[in-house]
Amino acid sequence: MNQNQIKEKANELLSQMTLPEKVAQIMQLSYAHLSEEERVMWIDRGIGSLLHVMGSEAQRFQDKTMETRHKIPLLFGIDCVRGHAMNPAATVFPCQLGMAAAFNPEMVQRAGEVSAVEVTEDALHMVFSPVLCLGRDTRWGRVDETFGEDPYLSGELAAAMVKGYQGDGEMRQDTGVLACAKHYLAHGESTGGRDSYDVPITNRKVLETFAPPFKKVIDAGCKSIMTAYHTIDGLPCTANRWILHDLLRNIMGFEGFVITDWDNAGRLFWQQFFSPDMRHAAKTAIEAGNDMIMSTPSFYEAAISMVESGELDEARIDEAALRVLSVKLEMGLFGEKRSQFNHKKASKMACEEHLKINSEFTNQTVIMLENKNNVLPLSRDIKKLAVVGPNADNISSQYGDWTFYTHPLPDFTKVPESVNISIWDGINTIAKDSGIKAALTQWDGPVSKYSRQSAPDPQDVQSIQRAAEDSSTDSTCEAGEQPTTPNLEKILKDCEGADVVIAVIGDDPTFNGEERDRADLDLPYAQQKMLEVIKEAGYKLIVVGVTGKPLAVKWVKENADAVLWTFCPGMYGGSAVAGVLFGDINPSARLPISFPQHSGQVPVYYNQLPGWHGEKYIDLPKEPLYSFGYGLSYSDFSFENLLCPENVKANNKEDICISVDVSNKSKKDGTSVVQLYFRDMVSSITGTPVKQFKGFERVSLKAGETKKVSFKLPMDELAIVDYNLNRIIEKGVFKITVGDGQYLEKEFEVI
């Protein structure tokens, strides 16, 4: 069907629908939150979409739509942000933050394709992904879902993911799924890192920093966008006509439909006190530009009554329904896709091909932060290694939030039904093959007890830390049921005779993820104490971090002999980490996000402003512990011959060509992530950052090899947003910085 035919068919359907049918068509409800009776009632009403249902159950309801008046297929949505991870049988990729560390859009696209195939196999059509929030305030619980702190990297990777989900260009009719970029807009910037609070930024800042990644996914063909929970300068995103219409459609050219986040329409009334009642909340949400309403059952009566009383123009309901119907037609839901599940062929769920892609990708996501005296890679001649720590054998920490462990309802007793290699499994496999004795000490220290409903729990890990510090108690917590530390004596005993101790530390989805923001980014006391005891005993200490976000691990940087870090690496986390530890994999990941030295330093994102008075704390430097783009390799890369034009015309339409020679000076083949940054030296916006990331290339180099790397920097990337909200390119000098660990600089002038 071409666009004209789609339009015609959508209009024809709409003309036959009653007002209640049109309102139902623009609603999405949660299967898990409805009784069977209610589900059937909503199907009869002609509901447009359900979320969080899959497989035969989804197909059962899809089949029921054939008995309705217009036979309009249901659109099924699912949170698929790291593969189809709500299904325990599916391929679970690293979280977005983990994926971002590979700086590899091609692999992100392939991950999107794999996810689309697996989601389609479960009869589903829409994935609430990619996430375009920026992980700049790392206290926020959802940092794991982001592609990190940088708008350029996020936009590039998200665009690749959209192509993977939907298809590059046309929507793939067989396995294409609808991408839903979220959370629109500037979610993650909430005051204090507290989820879904007020974001005190201006529309200029929105245009400069937060809208550009969305523009990239729109250009890649993304057909749905999810509104965020928070307010921007006091105005709920759900009610913000400027961002939902003027910016999204008029400026950025979006043509799909906008869906609210969970009960955003209802929240306008019961949570944000913006609308006096549900009727007005429905009117506000629809008039602002939301086209589909997620998880607000009362929207139905409210919207119908508002139209019937003449307070809401039916034309806006029509516009929204047309958009939803058009996307359904474009995706082929009225055709074969409607009953794909019934005609299922051989299962591709976590099939060999998908697992291979995942394993290859995960190998590129382990970041080496420290390697003092080249302690890594480990020799296969060592005799004994000890593995300790809470995340050594903890698959839920590798999978993280938005997996079957946490959704639709948290259940940590569930087990993955496909490959799942814990860090210990990975290390032990290599150790066994190499005749190394490996010993695992199971974690018996405190674990997080957080639950969504409860107030901060005095028995939670971070609170135990403070209690222990306050009372200087040592290895047992007198007040509560939880121990303060693991059994340290046992750990030391298990470590006896070890050539190295590998401590696998971090967090897990009980203390990262949605609604799990943290004010304190230190390692929990129990883990810190364990590291200190091992260090004091004189062991060579290798720390492996498995987390959903950067932590404040200054002690680890200063005291560990080597440090590897992974962000929720998924099913192949263990083999990837072990491969790097023993040198089978040369680490090629770089940080997509900066680590603070201390929680009080947050935010520490790299693209800050120069600062005009003091620009530091009296008690801490302003620099992060590790900055965006940092990461070590077993190879040594060096850079020469940075070339760029001396000047370019401000009205130039061509990309700016920049090139550099990168050499691998070591004896080991390796991959460099060559990075391009610039600084706009003088501009009419004093808020121009000291460095802006604008290009990257993964370059594989044999030992001793040199390659030329060329960047094409689009002129538009030089633009600033002025105080009249125009994107303009100003004349003047730009300094570029190119490299990876070692950096070269050069200037060009826009004339």
CB of 129 to ligand BGC, least distance (A): 8
Reduced to 3 states, what is the DSSP secondary structure of residue 42? Answer: helix
Q: Tell me, by CB under 6 A, how many residues bind ligand BGC.
A: 6
Rg (CA), the chain: 26
Nearest of 92, 89, 136 to residue 624 by alpha carbon:
136
Binding of ligand BGC by 262 (CB under 6 A)? yes
Q: Nearer Cβ to ligand BGC, position 31 or 262?
A: 262
CB of 167 to ligand BGC, least distance (A): 22
Q: Is cis: bond before 183, omega within 30 of 0?
A: yes
* Partner residues linked to 675 by β-bridges: 696, 739
**569 vs 31, 99, 356, 437, CA distance in Å?**
29, 8, 15, 26
Q: Nearer Cβ to ligand BGC, position 122 or 208?
A: 122
CA torsion 244-249-251-254 (nearest 10°) is 110
Q: Nearer Cβ to ligand BGC, position 128 or 606?
A: 128
Strands 670-680 and 732-740: antiparallel
Q: Nearer Cβ to ligand BGC, position 240 or 485?
A: 240
Tokens of 228: 């965020």
CB of 82 to ligand BGC, least distance (A): 13
Q: Nearer Cβ to ligand BGC, position 244 or 577?
A: 244
DSSP code of residue 599: G
Q: Nearer Cβ to ligand BGC, position 145 or 460?
A: 145
Binding of ligand BGC by 147 (CB under 6 A)? no
Binding of ligand BGC by 516 (CB under 6 A)? no
* Residue 465 neighbours by CB distance under 10 Å: 22
CB of 286 to ligand BGC, least distance (A): 20
| Binding residues for ligand BGC restricted to 570-599, rule: CB under 6 A | none
The C-alpha atoms of residue 491 and residue 144 are separated, in whole angstroms, by 30
Tokens of 130: 């990619």
Strands 670-680 and 692-701: antiparallel
String marking each residue 60-99 x if it binds ligand BGC according to CB under 6 A: -------------------x--------------------
Q: Nearer Cβ to ligand BGC, position 298 or 633?
A: 298
Of 42, 128, 582, 639, which one interacts with ligand BGC (CB under 6 A)? 128
Q: Nearer Cβ to ligand BGC, position 182 or 323?
A: 182
DSSP code of residue 210: I
CB of 582 to ligand BGC, least distance (A): 38
Are 97 and 568 contacting, i.e. CB atoms less than 8 angstroms apart? yes
List the beta strands (DSSP E) in 571-613: none
Tokens of 510: 């009980």
The C-alpha atoms of residue 501 and residue 547 are separated, in whole angstroms, by 19
DSSP code of residue 14: H
Q: Nearer Cβ to ligand BGC, position 133 or 369?
A: 133
Binding of ligand BGC by 261 (CB under 6 A)? yes
CB of 260 to ligand BGC, least distance (A): 10
Tokens of 251: 């400026």
CB of 401 to ligand BGC, least distance (A): 10
CB of 403 to ligand BGC, least distance (A): 13
Tokens 């998880």 sit on residue: 295
Binding of ligand BGC by 508 (CB under 6 A)? no
CB of 552 to ligand BGC, least distance (A): 26
The C-alpha atoms of residue 178 and residue 167 are separated, in whole angstroms, by 10
CB of 408 to ligand BGC, least distance (A): 8
Tokens of 693: 């990331």
Binding of ligand BGC by 182 (CB under 6 A)? yes
Length of the chain: 751
Tokens 């057909």 sit on residue: 223
Binding of ligand BGC by 405 (CB under 6 A)? no
Q: Nearer Cβ to ligand BGC, position 77 or 573?
A: 77
Q: Nearer Cβ to ligand BGC, position 94 or 587?
A: 94
CB of 50 to ligand BGC, least distance (A): 12
Q: Nearer Cβ to ligand BGC, position 262 or 555?
A: 262
DSSP code of residue 139: T
Strand 198-199's sheet: what is its strand order?
198-199, 231-232, 235-236
CB of 190 to ligand BGC, least distance (A): 13
Which parts of this chain interact with ligand BGC (CB under 6 A)?
A: 79, 128, 182, 261-262, 514
